[in-house]
Amino acid sequence: MENTKLPAKLKAEIIENGEIQKQFGLPKTEFGPLKVVRIFDPGTNQAWAFVVIDNLKRGPSLGGTRMAPDISVLEVYGLASAMTFKNAAARLPIGGGKSGIFGDPVYYRENPEEKKRLITMFAEAIWPVKDYIPGPDMGTDEQDMQLIYDTFTGLNGAPNHGRGGVGRPPANGGLPLDEWGLTAHGLYAAAKTAQEYEPGFSIKGSRIIIQGFGNVGCPIAEKLSADGAIIVGASDINAGLFNPGGLDIEELARIRKEKGGLSRYHGKAEIMFTGKELPSLMNLPCDILVPAARPNVITAANADSIRAKIILQGANNPVDKATESWLQEKKGIACMTDFIVNAGGVIACAAELRMDKDMPYAEEVREEDGLGRAFLEKLVYQTVSDNVREIYSRLKSEKDKKLTWRDMAMALAKDRLK
């Protein structure tokens, strides 16, 4: 959708039961989806956003608010469904949901007042949708979550409403999961734990390619690099860089938020991909490929070209299921499942949600460093590494059945959804 003039108001329409399949063609599974909420301009009937509430078995649904110009109900549903399994696998008292706002984050970064207006209208429209709690995702940040929280406070008449947004700035009682790199911390825990199980794999000296050098991609590069890994490739929407001797990640971290992003890189790089060639970065040799941008970037079309040993799934749904099985069976690539390894952010969101209503818990979280970062890093590390160990041990005990990482991750999540 093009950025069009903002409407005066947005409204929510809840679509349930068979209408979900009829109107949007979404699949129906034993877990969901339960509701699709269409957020529209009552003046023109134009849709501006969608919320998908997938499953409420473990509690109200929690999942990020994505902003992208080409977001679709199908993409939001895929992400909501992943949240159902992610939240269950991490034993969080929340269900699976997600939302998507049509909009170009680059345009709104340059027009912050318009973004504020859009986020406020979105919050007002979803306030009656009591079983969805928004957090940050691609295209939204902690300031947007604060705005949603404040809008809810206004509508509620008081703070501590337990409705989110979560992932707010620490000065306002939030846990800034992106600033603290908490999702990356979970990916790091997964990579550390994989050293115990993947034959011959060690982070030290391993070659890493990061597709999507954003709030997840940048800190995982920094963490792995600090342990002796070599970041040979990195990309953002502007450029993909490859240097077998390693990229200068300090420079990448510095330029990633500037206009032009990684295309401004001046350090040594043997190859720079741009435009349609961007995905080719993922075909270059490495030990760990970290997709950390959009869904379905590895499919049957490019699977044969992938030369990684491990795919550490920072993004949600970066590889389609059939391709994952093929990669594991035919090429021996371990696809470490998104909803197990990238749960760090939502673990922090769930903690913040509880802190909003439970003061003794908030004090416990902040006890060590006054902010909660140390507590959260330990919690994320422990949760992700325990789940990774559990999956490897299930895979080992059923090794004759040719099951995949995802098969085991799903089995674990389903056990916790019962």
> Where does residue 331 fall: left (phi above 0), alpha (psi -120 to 50 degrees), or beta otherwise?
alpha
**The tokens of 180 are what?**
């603290």
Q: Which of 84, 151, 193, 342 is the binder for ligand NAD (CB under 6 A)?
A: 342
256 within 8 A of 332, measured Cβ to Cβ: no
Does residue 181 touch ligand NAD according to CB under 6 A?
no
Does residue 313 touch ligand NAD according to CB under 6 A?
no
Among the listed ranges 25-33, 197-205, 229-237, 410-418, the one in contact with ligand NAD (CB under 6 A) is 229-237
Q: How far is the CB of 160 from ligand NAD (least distance, A)?
A: 24
Element (H, E) at 73: helix 73-89
Closest CA to 71 of 139, 124, 132: 139
Does residue 214 touch ligand NAD according to CB under 6 A?
yes
Among the listed ranges 8-16, 112-120, 215-223, 269-277, the one in contact with ligand NAD (CB under 6 A) is 215-223
Q: How far is the CB of 87 from ligand NAD (least distance, A)?
A: 12
Catalytic residue among 98, 115, 223, 309: 98
Closest CA to 143 of 121, 114, 174: 174
CA-angle at 240, arms to 136 and 381, nearest 5°: 45
Q: Which of 20, 89, 209, 216 is the binder for ligand NAD (CB under 6 A)?
A: 216
Helix ranges restricted to H, 227-317? 249-255
* Of residues 193 and 317, the one with the C-beta less far from ligand NAD: 317
Buried-exposed string 213-232: b where 16+ CB fall within 10 A, e elsewhere: bbbbbbbbbbbbbeeebbbb
Look up 330 and say whether it is catalytic: no
One character per residue 116-155, x = contact with ligand NAD (rule: CB under 6 A): ---------------------xx-----------------
Other Cβ atoms closer than 10 A to 368: 13
Q: Which of 32, 134, 212, 372 is the binder for ligand NAD (CB under 6 A)?
A: 212
Looking at beta carbons, which residue is closest to ligand NAD? 214
Among the listed ranges 119-127, 144-152, 292-300, 328-336, the one in contact with ligand NAD (CB under 6 A) is 292-300
For ligand NAD (CB under 6 A), the number of binding residues is: 25
- Tokens 């490019």, residue? 302
Closest CA to 143 of 112, 104, 98: 112
Q: Which of 83, 278, 341, 351 is the binder for ligand NAD (CB under 6 A)?
A: 278
| d(C-alpha 342, C-alpha 186), whole Å | 6
CA-angle at 411, arms to 406 and 416, nearest 5°: 125
* Of residues 206 and 215, the one with the C-beta less far from ligand NAD: 215
Q: How far is the CB of 218 from ligand NAD (least distance, A)?
A: 8
Closest CA to 308 of 320, 300, 298, 296: 298
Does residue 211 touch ligand NAD according to CB under 6 A?
yes
Site of interaction with ligand NAD (CB under 6 A): 137-138, 177-178, 183, 211-217, 235-237, 261, 278, 292-294, 314-316, 342, 345
Q: Which residues are catalytic?
A: 98
